[in-house]
Amino acid sequence: MSLIWEITKNNSSLLKRTRLYGGASFHTSPTNPLNINSEKYTKTNNVSVDVTPKGDLLIKKSTHDASVRKPKEYVKKSKVANKQLSVTKAAKTIVETTEGEDFRGDLKTVLVARAAKLLRLKHKSKKTTKATQSK
C-alpha cells in the first residue's frame, strides 16, 4: 500500500496546493475528514465516513465488488442532524453508525469534532440571519 501512496501522493485531481503555509497541500476527497494529504487520511478503506457542511450528511462508502457496479449502493447517505442543533445527538448518531462497520476507530473523534464545529457554525449563521432580518 505504501508503494501506491508514494506514486500517487503528488498526482491527484483532488489535491489542492496553496502558496501559504509553506506550500501546504490539501486533499479535497469527500471521505477525508481533515483534508490533509497524508496516507493515513486519504487511504481507501472498506468504509469511509465524513461529515459535510451541506445538510450535515454522514457519507458511508463501501468498496464491495457488488456495489461498485451499482453507484446508488456505493455511497449511502444518512442525516446526522436535520433540524436538531444538539451536538451530543449528532455525536451519538456518528458513533452508533460507525460502531458495527469495518471503520477505523481513530477517526471517530475527528468526525465528532468536525460535526460539532459544523453544527455550531450552522447555529451561529442562523442567529445572525435572524438578527439581520429583524432590523
pTM exceeds cut of 0.85: no
Give the β-pairing of 15-17 and 57-62.
unpaired
In order along its 135 residues, the chain shows pLDDT tens digits of 678 778 888 887 888 888 877 778 888 777 777 788 887 776 655 566 777 766 555 555 555 555 566 666 666 666 665 555 577 877 887 787 777 666 777 778 888 888 888 777 776 766 666 666 666
* H or E element at residue 116: helix 108-134
The DSSP result for 38-52, as a single string, is SHHHHS--SEEEEEE
Which pLDDT belongs to residue 64? Answer: 57
Which pLDDT does position 24 carry in this prediction?
Answer: 81
What residue spans define the domains of the chain? 1-44, 48-126
